[in-house]
Structure 1
């Protein structure tokens, strides 16, 4: 996996990657537009940027799917979300509140911070949203 900082993408681009990852198949741009509640031209522009950056393959009229780089980054995004939501749950928020609150700020938390939090928490294997993977915890 290409070394990442966790801060490469904007919050909006992160939402695109997470949705495409969740669907596990080609996703049509009109589906992305509807899900993210954005204009189709905005979706096309963002998808083209993600393709130029190597995160997705886009075939017009066929859809969008993640590249290996995109899959690796999406796996990090899921891990980051699950570690942060577990941390907030451990501080007293309900699982639903923790998940919702993390969505507000997670895109601004680096890989280094996530690895440090993960280590401090004893490398948990289960979060409030599901299993936590540890493919590259450097701390």
Structure 2
């Protein structure tokens, strides 16, 4: 009966003995999970999911790093990796306010803007103060 002890598989491949019903058939080499090859007896190479999925992180917003049977995204500032792709981080929902007092936060793609509320003026990222209509010309 043929067994895996007689079969040498290539790098990142394992020998698979067939089920008892198929015991007179030869065992086969198969690639480990996350690897591929046309001939596993010669060896298997890692599946590059970054290439196969055409940069799942998003063009211009994240860098994809292939891993065995997976990938990881290093996202640009203002984005985060949700396990699949880089997603815009809504800075306005941050528990610590990103805008100054009396200012409104508006999320933008990859960033945010702060503007003073009506009737206020100043640096919206620091503090907006009431406009003094008595001294304004």
- The alignment's TM-score, normalised by the length of structure 1, stands at 0.23
More helix by share: 1
Structure possessing the higher radius of gyration over alpha carbons? 2
- The alignment's TM-score, normalised by the length of structure 2, stands at 0.24
